[in-house]
A and B are shown apart, each in its own frame.
Chain A
Amino acid sequence: MYLKITTDHARFRNIIKGKVKKDLRKYISNAESLGVKGGRYISIPMPTIDLPHFEFGKNEQSGVGSGDGKEGDSVGQPEDGDGGGKAGNAAGTHIQEVDVTLEEMAEMLGEELGLPRIQPKGDKNILAQKSRYTSVHNLGPKSLLHFRRTYKEALKRQISMADYDPLDPSIIPQSRDFRYRSYKELPVENNSAVIIFMMDVSGSMGDEQKSIVRTQSFWIDTWLRSQYKGLETRFIVHDAVAHEVDRETFFSTRESGGTIISSAYVKALELIEREFPPEQWNVYLFHFSDGDNWSADDSKKCFELLEKKLLPVSNLFAYGQVESLYGSGQFYRDLTERFQASDSSSEKIVATRIPNREAIYDSIKEFLKKGL
C-alpha cells in the first residue's frame, strides 16, 4: 500500500532542520549537551511544534486519576510525557528528541558557516577494494544460506516437475536449489585525510577550556568527515613533553607543569613521517593552547618547525587560543606577527582566539573557511 506519509514526514524533517539551523550557533556552542548516538546521529532535544489554540492556562492543570494514596500525595510531574494521570489536559511544553545524522549536521554547518568544499589532494587513482554482500551464488557456506531464494528455486523446480500439490504445499529443497548470499568487489576512491589534534594540558588549562576544545574538535571532526571518505584522527597532548594518546585520554587528562609547545610539533612531525606520507594524505593540524609558552626561544623553535617542516606537508595548520585566567596569550601574538598575511608560507596558517563558548562558532568558521 502506497501512502503519502513520506512526503509529509520529509516536510516535517525539513521544518525541524530549519529550526536546528536557526539555532545552530546555540547547538554548536553546547554540543556536549546533545547526545551522539552510535556515532551516527545527534539527538537534539527541542520543544514539540504545537499549533497554538485558545486554551486554558496553567491554573487549570488539574484532572482526575485513580489509585491509592491520600490527599497531598504526589502523582507525578508535569513535564513527563504521559505519566501523572493527565486526563486530557495539556501540561507544559513537551520535549521531543530529534535525530539528525552527522552528515546532515555537517551539511548545515557548511551552509551556515559558508564553508567551501574541500578539494582533496592526493592520488584519486588509489582505489581500495571493498566487498559488499549484494549478490547470490549457488555455492557457499551454510551460514549464508538465502532462504527465500532457495525456497523459490525449489518451488520452481517442483512446479515444473508437477510435483507440487496445493493442498499439501510442502517444499523440499534439493542440493541444486540452494542459494547463498555472496559478495561483490567494489572499487572505492580513497581520499584519505588525517586530523592531528594537539592540546596543551599544562596546569593553566582548566575544565572549561578543555570543554571548549572538545566541542570545537567535535565539529571540526564532523565537518572534515563529511568531506573525506576515510578520515583518521590522532591526538597529542603536551605540557613540557608530548605524548600521543587516544581520544578518551585526550579529552580527560589533566596534567600540570610547564609548557613547551615545540614538543608537540616534533611529535606531530614524527607521526606524519611515520604513518601518513604527505603525497597520499591530506594532513590537518589543529593546536589548542592557552598561549603561554615556556620561553621565547621555544616559540622561535616552533615557528622554525612550522615553516620548514610542518607547513610543507600539511593542508592546514590551525591554532586556537583558548583564553584562560592565567594565560598571557603571548603565543598568539608571536605567531600572527611571525606569519604575516603577505607571507606565502602563512597561507596555510589560521589562528583564532576563543575567549568563551560563544566564540566557538566564529572560530570554526575562521578555521575552515579557506577550504584547504
Chain B
Amino acid sequence: MSDLPRELALHKEEIEKIASNYGLDFYTTIFEIVDYDVMNQLASYGGFPTRYPHWSFGMEYERLSKSHHYGLSKIYEMVINNDPVVAYLMRGNSLMDQKLVMAHVYGHADFFKNNAYFGTTNRKAIDMMANHAVQIRRFVENIGAERVESFIDLCLTIDNLIDPRANFPVESAQEASAYDVDPSRLPVAKLKAKDYMEKYINPPEFLAEQRKKLLQEHEEKRKIPQRPVQDVLAFLIQYAPLENWEREVLSIIREEAYYFLPQAQTKIMNEGWASYWHSTIMTKHKLEDSEIVDYANSHAGTMSMAGGRFNPYKIGIELFRHIEERWDMGRFGTDYDNCENIAEKKAWNKETNLGRKKIFEVRKVYNDLMFIDEFLTPEFCQEHKLFTFALNPKSNEYEIASREFEKIKQQLLFQLTNRGSPFIFVVDGNYQNRGELYLWHRFEGAELKLATAKESLKTLFHCWRRPVHIQTQLQDQFKLLSFDGKELSEKNLPKEEAYTDGWGRETEVPD
C-alpha cells in the first residue's frame, strides 16, 4: 500500500475542501494507488482486501482479468462504504482521470454517510469482512474445506431471500407478551345487559362462536411464522436444525447480503449523485484548460448509453439535474401540475432556486424505486429517448416494445421492486403438521424460472432437513414444487388449497 504521491495528495486536499464547501458531508476518505492486477483482485472481492475463501471470487477475477487483458473493460473507480471510506486509484491513469475519480468518490462518500438506506450498514465493513474470513477459515480447518465450500455454495443460492425493508427495524414476527394468558381463561367480549335481557342481547350461541374464534386466533398465533416472513435466511437461522458452524456460515452470508443491499437499492441514485459531483467539481474548479478534451472523453464514456444500454450513471445524473432545474424554476406543486396552458408551462419560471436544497434532500431520503416513481416525467423519457424492450421469441432478438411513459415507468419500477427478484415468504414452518417448510411466491405477473427454483429448493431442503415446498403460479394455475430429499415433484394446486394472502384468514401482507 502506498501513500499518495505529493501531487495527488495536494489535489485530494483541494477536492475535499471544494466538496465540503458545497455541503457534502463524508467520513475521512483514504485513497490508495494500486496497479491493474491488484485492482482486479480487489474488485473480485467487492473492493475488500479480505473476504472468506470461495471460488466464486476466483471466477470473478478470471472474468475481470480476461476482459482487462482483451481491452474490453477497465475499472476506473472503486470505493468502499466504510468509516473511513477507502477508495482505489488505478496506477498509471492520467492526472485528469485521478482528479475525476477523486471528485466522484467524494460524491459516493457523502451518499454512503447520508442516505437513509445506508443508515444501518456496518461502517466497519473492512473489519467485518476480515472477521468473517477468519471465522470461515477456522471452519475450513476444523470441518474440512469441501464441506464448508459446498455449504457456502448452498447459502449463496438463497442469499437473495432477505427482506429489503429490513434497513428499518420491523417488529419481530414472534413477539412474546407479558399479557399472554391461557386462552380458555380469556373473557369473551359481552354487551352490557340486564339479567333478564342477557340471553337476547348476548345469545349463548354467539358467545360460543366468539370463544371458538378466540381459541382459533390463539392457535394461529402459535403458528410459525405468525405472519409471512420475507427474511427467509433469518427464519432458517432461527428455526432450521443446522449444525452450529452451518448456522454461523449462514449468518455471515446473511450479514453480508444485508451490507450490500442498500448499494443495490440505490444504484441509480448513488452513481447519479457521484457523477453530478464529479461533473460539478471538475468543470467548475479542477480542470486545466489542456484537460478539457480528455475530461469530456472520459465523462462521455462513463455516461454512454450507446447500443441502447440503460446506464444508471446517465439516468441518475440527468434525473438529479432535472430535479434541480424543476425546483430552481418552481416547476412543482399543484399550481404547476394543474396548469394546462402548454406555452405557459414551458415558460414556467418562478425563480424559486430551491434546486440544490431539493437534491440534497432527495439523496437523503429516497431509494431508486421511490426516485424513479416520483421524479421520472414524460418529458424526461422523451428527452432521453427511453423505451422498453422485450424478447421476440421468433427472431430471438430484443425489440423495442414501447415508448409510452407509463410502460417505461412500470418496467423500471418492476426491475427495481425487491431488486428485481421475486417476493418469497415463509408462510408455514410446520406444513400439514409434519414439520415441512412451505414457501410462498407472491405472484405479481412474472413467473419463476422453474429450473433454478428447483435447485434452490434442494438447498432449502439441506438446511431444513424435512421436505420443502414452494407455491408459485404459472399464469392462472397454482403450482406446488416440492423436494423431499430424493425427488423433485411438481403438481397443480386447486385454488381452494392454495395460500393466497393467508389461507382464507385475514393477514396483513407486507408489500
Contacts and interface: CB of A to CB of B under 8 A. Distances in A.
Interface of A: 1, 3-5, 7-13, 15, 48-78, 82-85, 87-89, 96-97
A1 to B, nearest CB: 6
A55 B452 contact: yes
B22 interface: no
Given A12-B58, A56-B446, 15 more contacts: A5-B61, A52-B456, A53-B157, A54-B422, A62-B411, A63-B398, A64-B412, A65-B386, A66-B387, A67-B305, A71-B401, A72-B400, A75-B389, A75-B399, A85-B309
Interface of B: 1, 34, 38, 41-42, 44-45, 49-51, 53-59, 61-63, 66, 133, 149, 153, 156-158, 160-161, 305-311, 314, 384-391, 395-403, 408, 411-412, 415, 420-422, 424, 441, 446-453, 455-456, 470
Contact of B400 (A5, A59, A69, A88): A69
Nearest to B57: A8
A77 B308 CA distance: 12
15 contacts: A5-B61, A10-B58, A12-B56, A12-B59, A15-B55, A53-B157, A55-B160, A61-B398, A63-B388, A66-B305, A72-B400, A73-B400, A84-B308, A85-B398, A87-B415
Looking at B42, B161, B309, B399, the one whose CB has the most chain A CB atoms below 10 A away is B309
Contacts of B403: 71
A5 B308 contact: no
B308 A66 contact: yes
A74 B448 contact: no
A287 B204 CA distance: 101
A63 B449 CA distance: 17
Contacts of B456: 52-54
A51 B38 contact: no
A93 B375 CA distance: 35
Contacts of B385: 66-68
A53 B38 contact: no
A67 B54 CA distance: 40
Looking at B41, B398, B455, the one whose CB has the most chain A CB atoms below 10 A away is B398
B420 A89 contact: yes
Contacts of B306: 67
A85 B389 contact: yes
Contacts of A78: 391, 396-398
B397 A74 contact: yes
Looking at B62, B395, B412, the one whose CB has the most chain A CB atoms below 10 A away is B62
Given A3-B49, A53-B157, A75-B399, A11 B58 contact: yes
A302 to B, nearest CB: 50
Contacts of A66: 305, 308-311, 314, 384-387
Contacts, number: 215
B53 A4 contact: yes
Contacts of B310: 63-66, 85, 87-88
A7 B53 contact: yes
A76 B396 CA distance: 9
A63 to B, nearest CB: 6
A63 B34 CA distance: 36
Given A66-B305, A85-B308, A8 B58 contact: yes
B390 A83 contact: no
A4 B137 CA distance: 12
A12 B420 contact: no
Looking at B50, B420, B441, the one whose CB has the most chain A CB atoms below 10 A away is B420
A89 B415 contact: yes
Contacts of B422: 54-56
B386 to A, nearest CB: 5
Contacts of B58: 5, 7-13
Given A55-B452, A57-B450, A74 B55 contact: no
B452 A52 contact: yes
B307 to A, nearest CB: 6
Contact of B388 (A3, A12, A62, A68): A62
Nearest to B161: A54
Contacts of B451: 52
B314 to A, nearest CB: 8
Nearest to A9: B58
B410 to A, nearest CB: 10
B447 A60 contact: yes
Contacts of A83: 307, 309
A98 to B, nearest CB: 8
B443 to A, nearest CB: 11
Contact of A59 (B57, B309, B388, B447): B447
Nearest to B452: A52
Contacts of A54: 158, 160-161, 421-422, 424, 441, 448, 452-453, 456, 470
A87 B386 CA distance: 12
A5 B447 CA distance: 37
Q: Which 5 A-B pairs have the closest CB atoms?
A: A12-B58, A52-B455, A8-B58, A52-B452, A87-B310
A96 B398 contact: no
A313 B397 CA distance: 61
Nearest to A67: B308
Given A56-B447, A68-B385, A3 B38 contact: yes
A57 B307 contact: no
A48 B385 CA distance: 33
Nearest to B384: A66
Nearest to A87: B310
Contact of B399 (A3, A52, A72): A72
A40 to B, nearest CB: 15
A12 B421 CA distance: 27
Contacts of B448: 54-57
Contacts of B59: 12, 48-49
Contacts of A74: 395, 397-399
Given A1-B34, A11-B58, A62 B305 contact: no
